[in-house]
Structure 1
Amino acid sequence: MTGSSTRTILICSGKGGVGKTTLTANLGIALASQGVRTAVLDADFGLRNLDLLLGLENRIVYTAQEVLAGNCRLEQAMVKHKLQPNLALLPAGNPRMLEWLKPEDMQKIVGLIQPHFDVVLIDAPAGIEDGFKNAAAAADEAIVVTTPEVSAVRDADRVIGLLNTRGVEPIQLVLNRVRPKMMQSQEMLGVTDVTDILALPLLGLVFEDEQVIVSTNRGEPLTLNGSSSPAAIAYRNVAKRLQGEEVPLPDPTKQRRGLRAKMRQLMQTKLF
């Protein structure tokens, strides 16, 4: 836990592959675009990917490992985004760091970052192992990312339990890869099902969006290129809600009804 006025937010998930790192990259860019000095810290030392998603992999010279060892200054290791100067990345070090890294090491890294930024986003490893516990030790708030699948929600519940025991608050939820049609046919857990099980306030709903895959492969977060795709809008709205703006959450049950109503209206226009 920290005593700084800088908001230090852990972005975590129980299950891998639910879009946690993608959210971190897009949320970081979205906050920076809103004028928030934002640092993103890749704490997934075993599976480092945040640099790829931000398109910064070729600009890394030093990592958190060299900072901790005293081999470079923090300023030398932080990689500023060329297209969004309010955002900087501190890359994860060698996977061997997992063998010796302790919670106090993460607290030291975050303590060095905080004076220079308004928000620090920590991309934690998925699961509840030591890597997650180390990352959680340096955070005040948390965003839990899950998809509306039974296994992902169960794993998220375990993560929330650990965060509660560590006094991390607030803990908020982002529900990712939402498919309204599957929710309506009850082939996927509904939003209320997930929020009832996890008992967390809902910070954002991100609809399934092919553009996420395209942008990830290009190393260009959707929130960087002005995209108006459903996921890009959702990421920006998460950033706004984090800043205290009241942005209504979309209702997945009305998504397809809205399309049907629009189609009916178009047909009536053509007929008359």
Structure 2
Amino acid sequence: MRAFETGATAVASTLASAAAPVEAAPVGQPAPQPAQPQPAPPHGRAIVITSGKGGVGKTTTTANLGTALAARGQRVVLVDADVGLRNLDIVLGLESRVRFHLLDVLEEKASLDEALVRDKRSDSLSLLAAAQTREKEDVVTAHMTALIEELRRRFDYVLIDCPAGIEKGFKNAVAGAQHAIIVCTPEVSAVRDADRVVGLLPNDWHPDLIVNRVRPQLVKKGKMLSVEDVNDILRLPLLGVIAEEPGVIVATNKGEPLALDPASGIGAAYRAIAAKLAGDEAPSAGSDPAVSGGGWFAKLGALLGGR
């Protein structure tokens, strides 16, 4: 597995080696070699965005959360681990810029620098796209782990868009991560799958929960699970709630994350989630009239504030 070093790092290593003093060797013995500089320890957080069920909004959440973190000045890279079903580039509007993909890097057909795509709206946000014509089984888990470790050296946040299911793709996505965010919709099948995924995560992880596509009117009528219902089952810290909104489809088709839209209630919710993830105090979803939609979200505000 190639060490994913940039040219600047390699030059710095060479200069450091050249500057290191070398003691003279006794006659007849080989000269001692200068000490090689050690790579900087990983400092960034690697977080896998997962659910177990497809179609719950993992990719949209990854794109918007990464965009919101980058807008806060964090260095963020989004890794599309859904090999064979690449979509994260479309949600970000970067599909025309992708030249190399994840497996090109893992198989040393391209360097990490060649494969990373800089976002057109923020220099702090980058994308490593998935391969469209390969299989999840083509990924070597140890190589994936090494790649994520290198990305943690370069970025403050590494957000990994996990494929649906709990097979090889899930295991590869989780391998290099340190934390998980569970994305779940208020559906019985989605909650059951999310609960299954939580049971497969390392025991020392404490995953957070985002409840997506909530429709308050249906909750009031008893036709949709409430956030309280979902959390009574999953028992996870509630990171945030995203309401159902038609603008999501429009924004996805345009490749424009709503996290950048100051007029969007969903954008405000993602920005609040990013603030909480970064450890900053953020207003609850119920305090924003654009997001609240009435008393149901006011009740939700107490839940979010009690995390």
TM-score, normalised with respect to structure 1: 0.88
Aligned to 1:209: 245
Aligned to 2:221: 185
Distance 1:255 1:184, change over 3 A: same
Distance 1:155 1:192, change over 3 A: same
Aligned to 1:231: 266
1:199 correspondence with 2:235: yes
Match of 1:21 among 40, 48, 59: 59
Instruction: Give the % identical residues.
Output: 50
Could you say which structure has the larger radius of gyration?
A: 2
Q: Partner letter of residue 191 of structure 1? A: V
Match of 1:146 among 184, 190, 200: 184
Q: Partner letter of residue 206 of structure 1? A: I
Give deviations 1:42-72, integer Å, cap 9, x for gaps: 0000211000000110001111111112122
How far apart in 1 are the matches of 2:240 and 2:296?
20
Aligned to 2:275: 240
Q: Partner letter of residue 219 of structure 1? A: G
CA shift, 1:249, in A, is: 3.2
SS in 1 for 2:293: helix
SS in 1 for 2:127: strand
CA shift, 1:96, in A, is: 2.3
CA contact (8 A) 1:209 1:229 kept: no
Q: Which moved more, 1:100-109 or 1:9-18?
A: 100-109
Summarize the alignment of residues 13-162 of structure 1 with structure 2, pairs less than 5 Å apart: 13-162=51-200
1:11 correspondence with 2:49: yes
Work out which structure has the larger RCO, using CA pairs closer than 8 Å and 6 or more positions apart in sequence.
1
Q: Partner letter of residue 214 of structure 1? A: V
Q: Partner letter of residue 264 of structure 2? A: S
SS in 1 for 2:258: coil
CA shift, 1:94, in A, is: 4.1
How far apart in 2 are the matches of 1:113 and 1:258?
40
How far apart in 2 are the matches of 1:134 and 1:18?
20
SS in 2 for 1:192: helix
CA RMSD of aligned residues (A): 1.9
Aligned to 2:4: none
CA shift, 1:196, in A, is: 1.1
CA contact (8 A) 2:216 2:296 kept: no
CA shift, 1:246, in A, is: 2.4
Give deviations 1:146-192, integer Å, cap 9, x for gaps: 101111101100011101xx245230000001111111111111111
How far apart in 2 are the matches of 1:256 and 1:96?
47
Q: Partner letter of residue 224 of structure 2? A: M
Give the 4+ runs in structure 1 shifted more than 6 A.
Answer: none
Structure 1, unaligned runs of 5 or more = 260-272
Structure 2, unaligned runs of 5 or more = 1-40, 298-307
Distance 1:76 1:97, change over 3 A: same
SS in 1 for 2:134: helix
Aligned to 2:14: none
